[in-house]
Structure 1
Amino acid sequence: MQPNYALDDAEWNKLISDAAYYFDDLTLKRGFQYYKQNRVQTFSISEPRKMRAMVEGRENYGVYINLDNFPGNYCDCPVNEPCKHIAAVLMYYADAQKRSVASLANAKAVVSRPKAAAASAEVPAGTGSRSALVKKLGGLIPGGTVAQWREYLQLLTSPLAHTVRNPQYADRALAAIAEAKPQLSPAAGMLFKLHAHLFILENLLRPNLPAAAAPVLGYSLGYYTAVAVSELQAAVTRLMNTTLPLAEEPGEWQRVKDTLSYLRQEMLTEARDRSRDQPYFSACYELLWRKWIAPNTDGAALYSEELDALRQEGQELGAAHSRQSLLLAESRMYYLLSDDRAAWELLRKTAERPGIYPDELMSFLIPLAEAGHWSRLTSWLAEIGPLLTSRLYNLSDYAGYWKEAVRRLPETEPLMWDTLSGMLPISREIYEDLLLDYGKWQDWMDYQLSSGKAPSDFRVSDLQPLEKNAPELLLPFYHQAVERFVVEKNRHSYKAAVKLMKRLAKLYKKLKREERWEEFLEAFTSRNSRLRALQEELRKGKLIP
């Protein structure tokens, strides 16, 4: 397992200060976007406070960071100063350290903000009356319904109603709610905490409306609001990944069903666009079923009831509901009922228009892998693969599920190759990697040649598996590239050709075909004898005397 080298508080505060000093605010914002888009790849920490990563941009850029020498941090992109790629890696690192990514993204504001402001809370005149109200509400919460909880949350956070919606607002709202200190059982406490986060999430998404107002479709979040929403949803995910003890507290089922009713309406009326972020309430709805409801129910009755509720809600909302959200939720119920064909049919209809987020499809795979249902998992992998059409989505998790399924059921390997080849060019990266992982050297080379790739498109390390296991396959690949370089007829291309020819010489020697190499070199030199610059480069490379 890779070492983590945890940051202490002093080191974290220094990182925040360094980020505020060396980056401008726009670069931090762009770095945050790259981090959110999962563009940071192959992250590693070689020793304390030193890390490397590859970041996907217009090209793949290598990043090296030494936290003890910030000016010496390096990215091989064209920007000659701290860039968004370095910022994205730092935010990836902060997340791995369980630190606030938002604080790093807002380093300028965090460093300049007075410490007292973060701790202060706006309260109306008359501190005594406010304290009495908080105490009273804290006593009412244990016996309240979900609807009453939301009313209490509105009262507890009312002093913050007119403040700017940013990460500080979310922190202060949660602190105001925690001040009530309701005495709740474990399951009730988790449900109340969930509703506290959902209430604040709703206020971040619809800041100028009362809680009961209809959703604002198409509302565009500001940058700092988006950061707050991202952090809040991460907190919701962590909470719902914890088991809800309903078996010990069956009396909490009514609150679970009320929570489901609330999320159902929010999910169906939530805007869907082409953004890279999964719709907020849709994610919560999915987690509620997968993490809290499904593990606590045995029969199919609850899933059938939800299908009826979804359809009824869709009819009542009319044009205000999202057809994609409805189809996706219905497919999830058929999935839970093990009616996969019905689920797949609805998913195909859902994917006919942009707006379905890849993680919503991937969420169907997680329970199957966890339960070891490998045959069913392979069927789902084959079905959702063609629906993963976003070029910006990282398919490494999808490839990982295929590898594990094939390991368990080797006879499903042909289905994996058929699916991945059918997904090209979207699946290009994972397809190439899996061909190498499975030792399909000829297939890998055929794909590169058919795609018009050249050796210069790869790092030397990328081609090392072939040089070791199937060096003969690289001969036509390198020869073809050499001829292309020569046709360009410039000094730079001649140098590239000679560099590649030196690798060819090593391959011929490894294959014990030195005579063939000498024949080629002699013919090549003679054929291009009029190209003086090429001849000079061949001499410099010590290929000819």
Structure 2
Amino acid sequence: MPSIPALDDAGWAKLVQDMAYYFDDLTLKRGFQYYKQRRVSGLTAPSPGLVSAFVDGTKRYSVEIVLGALSIGGCNCPVAGPCKHMAAVLMDFAGAQGRPVQLLANAKASTRVRAEAASARAVPETGRAAGGRPGGQDALKERGRLIPAMNVAEWHELFARCVSPLAGSIRNPQYADEALTAMLRIKPPMAPELEHLYGLHARLFVLETLLPRAAGKAGGFTPSLGYYTHLAVTELRDDIERCFHAEPSPASDPGQRNRILDTLGLLRQALLAESGGHVFYSDLYYLLWRMWIIPEMYDQALFKEELRLLEEESDSRTASSSRQPLLIARAWMHFCMSGDDKALVLLREASEQPGFYPERLDMFWEPLAEAGDVERLVSWLTETGGLLRGHYRHSLDSYARHWEQAVRLLPDAEPLMWRVLADMLPLSGGIYAEKLLAHGRWRQWMDYQLSSGRDPADFRVRELQPLEKNAPELLLPFYHQAVERHVAEKNRSGYKAAVKLLKRLNKLYKKMKAEERFEHFLGAFTARHSRLRALQEELRKGKLTT
């Protein structure tokens, strides 16, 4: 068939593997029947790697399949996931290539046989189960020999059997360690990439058992965790994050692609089940994209498919708590495809939802900073600055750090940085003042402190040293204004505070070699407040007057 590109041996081996991974035996057998009954028609390849056809079943169904990523394709029949129509199309495709279709029909069984044989060679005879109790350790060990041939769902079914004896245990770090040990000790010798991925899923499963679902809240997590459970969750999440950064990366093995895509599906559903106030899976979802998926991508097909799945979820979610992580995930997909305008619209909507976590914005700045895409980074810092307003509990350290990098690489962006930070006041007050000092903008720093009513007593002496050294005259109104403000309180504590500032002011005048100016000021100050006996007493105690 001239419209169908040739399938090489590597592609054929991958197809057999994918069929075994995504389809169960019954679906493969039914697909084989449809193939033999010649129900497939119009087989074409509209673009490289894409196969489409029609299948006559209860009605005519349209099938589109992406070779090498079967989870991306689909059929418009009512079945969710791989169906007999997709299997029939793939078999028709194989037949058009002159490949043995029967092998696809038996892909599940043949793959298991090969894995079992390989495992049997790897496990010594003395290590095999011999009449072990059903569900016991021997039976689990025997079942574990098939781990290399299992898909992710089957792994998690096995995990559930492994931890069932711990069902009544208190959820604490000890439980997490025991559960993880139970899952890891049944695995056979495996390739490092597969062992790495299996270990990741074992930890994800334990994490799920630590986060029980809230009764009466479909898909929602309980609003709080006990201290020891929270400790176990924190330790486990740190361990999972290290899995994404460690070597070897499972993504480096093409044979792990299907399992990685299933990992994506698992984390997607976990992320979408989170409420705005409990973010356990979000970082893991985005880490998977950044560390394992994106580095191996060659086009935007997977982004588009993920966005389609997220948009389908949008239609079924109305509660604001469940919509927020969905909006941010959709924004991330648009961002990855350079659709910044659409991404920002979604982020603005997400920021209006209760419990918005501004920390999520860091995942948009960080990739741009790492890639050195400075102009786009400046644009994102400018646009997202407004989303941080109103979230006073959020630290702006990351935001400030990325602005610093952007200005270092693109000096022309500095005026824009100052304008954005000024517009974000008072939220940005801390980093705004810090950057003014760092950039030697002494007058602007002092104007900001005076306008915000800050007191010199709020600062340690060393914090004011840069101004004392570079622009001491700017500190004079700062001290004078504060002294008068404390005196105006007309109480003993106010007078004591005023005297402390006057003593620091005296030292400042001495550094400026302007002692006479201070003496003149102090004389006028003392005369003006001569009726305030308590103040006069504090001045004498401070040895400013006699």
TM > 0.5 fold call: yes
1:176 aligns with 2:182: yes
What displacement does 1:386 show? 2.0
What displacement does 1:377 show? 1.3
Describe how 1:157-306 pairs up with structure 2 within 5 A: 157-206=163-212, 215-242=219-246, 245-246=249-250, 248-273=252-277, 279-306=279-306
CA-to-partner distance for each residue in 1:107-164, whole Å, 9 max, x for gaps? xxxxxxxxxxxxxxxxxxx989723123113201111001100111111111111212
Specify the alignment match of 1:359 in structure 2. 359
Q: Which among 135, 143, 149 is matched to residue 149 of structure 2?
A: 143
What displacement does 1:305 show? 1.3
Residues 129 and 327 of structure 1: CA distance in aligned 2, closer, same or farther (over 3 Å): closer
Q: Could you tell me how far apart the structure 1 residues matched to 2:203 and 2:325 are?
A: 22
What displacement does 1:320 show? 10
Specify the alignment match of 2:373 in structure 1. 373
Give the letter aligned to residue 144 of structure 2: G
Give the letter aligned to residue 446 of structure 1: D
What displacement does 1:257 show? 0.9
Residues 138 and 488 of structure 1: CA distance in aligned 2, closer, same or farther (over 3 Å): same
CA-to-partner distance for each residue in 1:483-525, whole Å, 9 max, x for gaps? 1222233333323222211222222232233332222122112
Residues 306 and 208 of structure 1: CA distance in aligned 2, closer, same or farther (over 3 Å): closer
Q: Could you tell me how far apart the structure 2 residues matched to 1:194 and 1:489 are?
A: 65
Does the 8 Å CA contact 1:482/1:500 hold for their aligned counterparts?
yes
Does the 8 Å CA contact 1:263/1:284 hold for their aligned counterparts?
yes
Specify the alignment match of 1:155 in structure 2. 161
Does the 8 Å CA contact 1:217/1:270 hold for their aligned counterparts?
yes
Give the letter aligned to residue 334 of structure 2: Y
What displacement does 1:407 show? 1.0
Residues 156 and 208 of structure 1: CA distance in aligned 2, closer, same or farther (over 3 Å): farther
Give the letter aligned to residue 456 of structure 2: P
1:475 aligns with 2:481: no
Specify the alignment match of 2:410 in structure 1. 409
Does the 8 Å CA contact 1:160/1:173 hold for their aligned counterparts?
yes
The farther-off stretch of 490-499 and 132-141 is: 490-499
Give the letter aligned to residue 499 of structure 2: V
Residues 486 and 248 of structure 1: CA distance in aligned 2, closer, same or farther (over 3 Å): closer
CA-to-partner distance for each residue in 1:211-246, whole Å, 9 max, x for gaps? xx9624444322222221111111111111235635
Give the letter aligned to residue 274 of structure 2: E
Residues 153 and 520 of structure 1: CA distance in aligned 2, closer, same or farther (over 3 Å): same
Specify the alignment match of 2:136 in structure 1. 130
Q: Could you tell me how far apart the structure 2 residues matched to 1:223 and 1:200 are?
A: 17
Q: Could you tell me how far apart the structure 1 residues matched to 2:320 and 2:462 are?
A: 53
Q: Secondary structure at the match of 1:305?
A: helix
Does the 8 Å CA contact 1:241/1:291 hold for their aligned counterparts?
yes
Q: Could you tell me how far apart the structure 1 residues matched to 2:360 and 2:499 are?
A: 49
Q: Secondary structure at the match of 2:136?
A: helix
Percent identical across equivalent pairs? 53
Residues 256 and 539 of structure 1: CA distance in aligned 2, closer, same or farther (over 3 Å): same
Give the letter aligned to residue 492 of structure 1: S
Specify the alignment match of 1:487 in structure 2. 488
Does the 8 Å CA contact 2:320/2:353 hold for their aligned counterparts?
no
CA-to-partner distance for each residue in 1:20-56, whole Å, 9 max, x for gaps? xxxxxxxxxxxxxxxxxxxxxxxxxxxxxxxxxxxxx
The farther-off stretch of 499-508 and 238-247 is: 238-247
Give the letter aligned to residue 300 of structure 1: Q
Q: Could you tell me how far apart the structure 1 residues matched to 2:224 and 2:145 are?
A: 38
Give the letter aligned to residue 189 of structure 1: E
Does the 8 Å CA contact 2:135/2:161 hold for their aligned counterparts?
no
What displacement does 1:317 show? 6.3
Specify the alignment match of 2:422 in structure 1. 421
Q: Could you tell me how far apart the structure 1 residues matched to 2:528 and 2:521 are?
A: 10
Does the 8 Å CA contact 1:264/1:285 hold for their aligned counterparts?
yes
What displacement does 1:338 show? 1.4
Q: Secondary structure at the match of 2:376?
A: helix
What displacement does 1:343 show? 1.1
Gaps of 5+ in 2: 1-131
Higher-Rg structure is 2
Specify the alignment match of 2:383 in structure 1. 383
Q: Normalising to structure 2: TM-score of the pair?
A: 0.71
Residues 135 and 505 of structure 1: CA distance in aligned 2, closer, same or farther (over 3 Å): same
What displacement does 1:332 show? 0.5
Q: Secondary structure at the match of 1:299?
A: coil
Residues 182 and 367 of structure 1: CA distance in aligned 2, closer, same or farther (over 3 Å): farther
Give the letter aligned to residue 331 of structure 1: A
Q: Secondary structure at the match of 2:391?
A: coil
Specify the alignment match of 1:345 in structure 2. 345
Specify the alignment match of 1:70 in structure 2. none
Q: How many residues align?
A: 413
